[in-house]
């Protein structure tokens, strides 16, 4: 697997000349309940990013680009630990990073996200970049969106909840990757039906979360149901699907 930060300028030029896809990953730094570390979104994203690019590299020229560790997280300021960028800062950062990759000669850039709060800002950045670089291919998606269909089948068969926040899904992945940072003594049995209030409304209705995370103690559904085995399977499923998308993206 080729990683941007470990390559020389000559190697990067060769990768650009070969038409390589550059995958830029985006995470967040914020609370994840009383049991998970604040870098959870970053660990999940770098793990899935590396696994996906490794798989895709067997079929296409691809480079794992720089990781952006901070996102839009003001809704988590209720608890300690959040490092949040403003909308304007994150928007400009995304555009600057993509433009820098383009300046190095790359034509295809894919933004892979692991934090729900970043979604709208990434979409705005995409629109601006497409206007300016109409001859380039710039794609973006959150990892759970890419694997949505496969994850739905897996969740139904195994009684696993939605991605949520610091619940069964994310806790399982962290147990598989960085179990030493999962505080099992702090796991609380949550309500399996407890999700963000916004999920009770139609998709086209926007709802300000208000104090939702305070009422949920910073996590959704039931993290006590998490297992290392579920986490390993989720990583495999998601990285397979992201790898497939990268291959389709390359063929554009």
Alpha carbon distances (Å) from 248 to 138, 141, 153: 13, 14, 22
Quote the pLDDT of residue 94.
98
State the pLDDT at residue 222. 86
- Cβ count near 18 (within 10 Å): 11
Sign of CA dihedral 171, 172, 173, 178: positive
pLDDT score for 159 = 63
Structure tokens at 241: 């699907």
CB atoms within 10 A of CB 38: 19
Give Cβ neighbours of residue 208 (< 8 Å, ≥ 6 apart). none
Looking at residue 201, what is its pLDDT?
44
The answer to whether the beta carbons of residues 142 and 113 sit under 8 Å apart is yes
The overall average pLDDT reported for the chain is 90
Alpha-carbon distances, residue 185 vs 35, 194, 205 (angstroms): 8, 21, 38
What number is the average pLDDT over the span 224-239?
Answer: 94
| Domains of the chain and CATH, by start | 2-244 (3.40.50.10310)
pLDDT at 198: 44
pLDDT by residue (tens digit) across 94-104?
A: 999 999 999 99
User: Does residue 93 register a pLDDT over 70?
Assistant: yes
Q: What is the pTM of this model?
A: 0.90
Q: Give the pLDDT band (50/70/90) at residue 158.
A: low
- At 197 the pLDDT is 45
Q: What is the 3-state secondary structure (H, E, C) of the chain?
A: CEEHHHCCHHHHHHHHHCCCEEEEEECCECCECCCECCCHHHHHHHHHHHHHHHHHCCCCCEEEEEEECCECCHHHCCCCCCEECCHHHHHHHHHHHHHHHHHCCCCEEEEEECCHHHHHHHHHHHHHHHHHCCCCEEEEEEHHHHCHHHHHHHHHHHCCCCCCCCCHHHHHHHHHHCHHHCCHHHCCCCCCCCCCHHHHCCCCCCCCCCCHHHHCCCCCCCHHHCCHHHHHHHHHHHHHHHHHHHHHHHCC
CA dist 207 to 142, 143, 196, 203, 212, Å?
A: 20, 23, 10, 10, 11
The pLDDT tens digits of the residues spanning 175-198 come to: 999 999 999 999 988 765 555 444
Mean pLDDT of 43-48: 98
d(CA 30, CA 44): 13
Q: What's the pLDDT at 53?
A: 99
* pLDDT at residue 203 is higher than 50: no
More confident residue, 84 or 159: 84
pLDDT per position as a tens digit, 22-35: 999 999 999 999 99
How confident is the model at residue 252, as a pLDDT? 86
Is residue 215 very low, low, confident or very high in pLDDT (cuts 50, 70, 90)? low
pLDDT of residue 232: 96
Under 8 Å between Cβ of 151 and 144: yes
* Model pLDDT for residues 99-128, shown as the tens digit of each residue: 999 999 999 999 999 999 999 999 999 999
Hey, what are 18's tokens? Answer: 């070969």
Q: Please report the pLDDT score of residue 152 as a whole number.
A: 79
């Amino acid at each position: 697997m080729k990683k941007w930060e470990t390559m020389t300028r000559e190697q990067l030029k060769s990768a650009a000349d070969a038409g390589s896809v550059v995958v830029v990953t985006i995470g967040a730094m914020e609370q994840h309940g009383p049991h998970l570390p604040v870098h959870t979104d970053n660990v999940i994203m770098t793990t899935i990013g590396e696994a996906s690019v490794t798989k895709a590299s067997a079929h296409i020229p691809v480079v794992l680009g720089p990781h952006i560790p901070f996102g839009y997280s003001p809704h988590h300021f209720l608890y300690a630990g959040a490092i949040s960028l403003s909308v304007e800062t994150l928007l400009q950062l995304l555009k600057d990073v993509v433009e820098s990759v383009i300046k190095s000669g790359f034509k295809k850039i894919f933004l892979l996200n692991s934090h729900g709060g970043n979604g709208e800002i990434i979409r705005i950045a995409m629109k601006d970049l497409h206007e300016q670089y109409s001859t380039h291919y710039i794609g973006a998606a959150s990892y759970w969106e890419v694997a949505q269909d496969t994850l739905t089948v897996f969740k139904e068969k195994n009684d696993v909840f939605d991605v949520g926040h610091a619940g069964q899904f994310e806790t399982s992945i962290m147990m598989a990757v960085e179990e030493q940072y999962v505080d099992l003594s702090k796991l609380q049995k949550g309500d399996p039906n407890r999700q963000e209030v916004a999920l009770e409304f139609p998709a086209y209705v926007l709802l300000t979360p208000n104090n939702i995370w305070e009422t949920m103690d910073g996590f959704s559904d039931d993290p006590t149901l998490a297992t290392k085995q579920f986490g390993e399977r989720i990583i495999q499923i998601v990285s397979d699907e992201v790898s497939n998308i990268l291959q389709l993206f390359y063929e554009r």
